[in-house]
Amino acid sequence: MESKAILKYAKCTPRKARRVADLIRGKKAGDALLSLKFMPYRGARFIEKILKSAMHNAEQKNNNIDSGDLLIKTFVDEGSRMKRVEQRSMGRANMIKKKSCHITVILTEE
C-alpha cells in the first residue's frame, strides 16, 4: 500500500527543503516526525506538515495500519519564481527572484 501527499508552492527554496528531505528519506514515519520537530531548518516545518498529511491519508485508506511504521520516500521539485524589483542607488534596480518548491512525500509498507 502506498500513501501520497503533495505540498505545492511552498515558500521555501528547493535547496533548503532538499537538505531536510535527504535527512528523513528511508526512515520510518514516526521517527522522522520526531526528528523534524527539533530541526532548526526552515524546510522542516513544511515537510513535517506534509508528512502528517501523508500519515493521515494512509490511515484513511487502511484503518488497521500503524502509520508510524511506514517508510518514507520524499523528493523536492522546483516551483515557480516570483520576480520582485528592488530599487538601488543612482536610479538602478535589481531583480529579486523569490523561489518556491513542490514537496512530495510517499509512504510505503516495505
Per-residue pLDDT, 67: 80
Per-residue pLDDT, 110: 76
Segment 68-74 shows an average pLDDT of 91
Per-residue pLDDT, 55: 92
The domain spanning residue 54 has which CATH number? 3.90.470.10
What is the domain range of residue 56?
Answer: 2-108
* Long-range pairs, 33-42, Cβ under 8 A, ≥24: 33/68, 41/16, 42/12, 42/16
16-50 pLDDT, tens digit per residue, is 999 999 999 999 999 999 999 999 999 999 999 99
How many separate domains does the chain show? 1
pLDDT > 90 fraction of the chain, expressed in percent and rounded: 85
Per-residue pLDDT, 50: 96
